[in-house]
Chain A
């Protein structure tokens, strides 16, 4: 699975996710990547793209949950993402990338690793696989 989220300096957001699914899956099985609100979501507050165990990401409506926590509980992107990765999906099943309208970037995951990268206009860039610490 691959994905990208982006926000411009006016706060416009977009998200995109694409995948081949997973090895040895049943033919006809749909995962989270094409399901809006599960593996992909964007609104006026944030943009999210997820990867991992698709059935859990669908059950947890991961991408929409991040946006809803920001919208209805007033959490920041980082707080909403941390809550979702800890509470909405089983450990070892999910990771996602997200940006917010005010330029926050977060890339949490509860698996061993996630291939990820990010950059901001002020020159910060990061490329990683495992947790930073």
Chain B
């Protein structure tokens, strides 16, 4: 067996080569920071399940990525976050959907895995489960960024759903003529 290994992503999509530095650099810094969190966790002997939860929590806390704080907005200008986690050794897994106040959805997904006989809880019941377990929650407005309000306006203007990194403009060519990517 070789040593430990870790990979992480901050989303993908229609990222043009001329992506502005003022958007690119904060995302690269955030990736480096979250990678360092994962490497330190491994070096301190944490198991893979703890490592992936820790890293995704850090990524959720970065407003530049579409998860946790910085989540994008639905057509109704609401936030609906979702997450899942899975342990390869036992195949135990947990998932949540439809959250709008939970600061770290990935930790709630892990609680579903560890504290219930189920795999998946969603919407109001998932929010109630979060409160019952003292998971950190905030007003939804704390999770919304001005950039994402602007992006929803752009998407509505072009009557499209928007790719994570689409530059606003007429419908994207290719797949369905719309970019529907999370």
**Cβ of B4 and Cβ of A8 under 8 Å apart?**
yes
Write the nearest CB–CB distance from A12 to chain B, whole angstroms.
Answer: 5
Is residue A133 contacting chain B, with contact meaning CB distance below 8 A?
Answer: no
Dominant secondary structure at the B interface: mixed
The interface centre, meaning the residue of A101, A102, A111, A121 with most chain B CB atoms within 10 A of its CB, is A111
**Number of B interface residues, CB 8 Å?**
91
Chain B residues near A35: list those with CB within 8 A: 84, 95
Chain A residues near B70: list those with CB within 8 A: 20
The interface centre, meaning the residue of B5, B53, B98, B165 with most chain A CB atoms within 10 A of its CB, is B5
Distance in angstroms between the alpha carbons of A23 and B19 in the assembled complex: 19
Distance in angstroms between the alpha carbons of A55 and B106 in the assembled complex: 21
Chain B residues near A24: list those with CB within 8 A: 73-75, 152, 155-156, 160-162
Kindly identify which residue among B27, B28, B52, B182 contacts A5, using a CB–CB cutoff of 8 Å: B52
Chain A residues near B11: list those with CB within 8 A: 1-2, 19, 51, 114-115
Write the nearest CB–CB distance from B124 to chain A, whole angstroms.
Answer: 12
**Cβ of A22 and Cβ of B105 under 8 Å apart?**
no
**Cβ of B3 and Cβ of A40 under 8 Å apart?**
no
Known: A2-B60, A2-B67. A120 touches B5 (CB 8 A): yes
Chain A residues near B97: list those with CB within 8 A: 30, 34
Is residue B87 contacting chain A, with contact meaning CB distance below 8 A?
Answer: yes
Known: A49-B9, A51-B12. A122 touches B84 (CB 8 A): no
Chain B contacts to A: CB under 8 angstroms? 1-17, 19, 24, 27-28, 31-32, 34-35, 38-39, 42, 47-49, 51-53, 55-56, 59-60, 62, 65-68, 70-76, 78-89, 91, 93, 95-98, 105-106, 109, 119-120, 122, 148, 151-152, 155-156, 160-165, 174-175, 179-182
